[in-house]
Amino acid sequence: MSYAIRNSLILLVTLLIIAGAAFSYINFVQKSEIQQLTSELEALNRDFNTKTNIRDQYQPLLERFNKAKEIVQNYDKKLYSNNNPDDVYDYLSEINDDNLELFYDFTYQDSIVQEQYGIIQSRIVGTGIYADFVTFINKIENSLYLNKVENVSIRPATGEASQDYVNFNLTLNSYYQKIDFETAADLTQKFRVNPNISVFNPLKPLILNTIPGNVDNLTNIEQSRLIGLTSTRVFIINQNGETKILKPGDKVYLGYLQQIDVENREVIFNLDKGGIKEIFTLKVER
């Protein structure tokens, strides 16, 4: 074999080896890298498109957020911060301590979870003066924390000295927040009432079976004597033999002093004898 042929064969083999190595590198190394890079590029494109959509939605979402925030901050109600029934009980106790004469049992029943809030359900059963009960409900529904009163039942109380007492029971739904959010509710206005709600007791008989007792030891003008008067004052010896000075509008047992008639030397009292209205006149003793 000539030297030229041998060199040609060596060169050919070398070229074949280089070509095989290049083919193997392309198919087994670079192709895999290309596929990996292609997957990474697709992932980056998806991420880019997602962030582009977020960017496009930011401004309208910001406007909705600011509008919702303004609504919340201008709202005069507030949700309880958690589902602890003790918070509801303490809140009701604060309402009842405000010179209301109510006696009740508070029973926690359930806590219902909604999508964006929760509801604490409780039962309240008790007795008290009708006007105070109405004021109690008035404050619950109009004050700071969001409570709803349902299934109210009232009936005249039995065995009570006053006809103004009623027995009552109701269901209370108290709303609490699942996530914290801003509020501008004024804590200085924690308790509020609607002054237009009447506290007249429709269950009280128009005419009572018995006349209320004189528990405050007021002047019983039917057992008293008028000993003197001026245009603005009257002087009375009451049922206990004590001298009392009264002016128009002052309370007496079962009523009040309505008018002083200086010319006729008499005073006129307006009495309410258990629903029966009566005018009673006292003349100055001579």
Whether the pLDDT of residue 248 is over 60: the answer is yes
What lies within 8 Å, CB to CB, of 209 at 6+ separation is: 274
Q: Does residue 136 register a pLDDT over 90?
A: yes
DSSP assigned state of 284: B
Quick check: 184 pLDDT over 60? no
Distance of CA 227 to the CA centre of its chain: 56
Query: pLDDT for 185-197, tens place per residue?
Result: 566 678 888 888 8
- pLDDT of 1: 59
Res. 159: pLDDT tops 70: no
Does residue 274 contact residue 210 with C-beta atoms inside 8 Å? yes
* Section 232-240 average pLDDT: 92
Q: Which of 197-201, 208-212, 224-228, 269-273 has the lowest mean pLDDT?
A: 208-212
CA distance 150 to 128: 18
Higher pLDDT, 261 or 203: 261
Tens digits of per-residue pLDDT, 69-113?
676 666 678 888 889 999 999 999 999 876 788 999 999 998 888
Which residues pair with residue 141 across a beta bridge?
none
Q: What is the pLDDT of residue 25?
A: 66
* pLDDT, average across residues 248-271: 92
Q: What is the pLDDT of residues 25-62, one digit of tens each?
A: 667 667 777 777 788 888 888 888 888 888 888 888 88
Model's pTM, two decimal places? 0.56
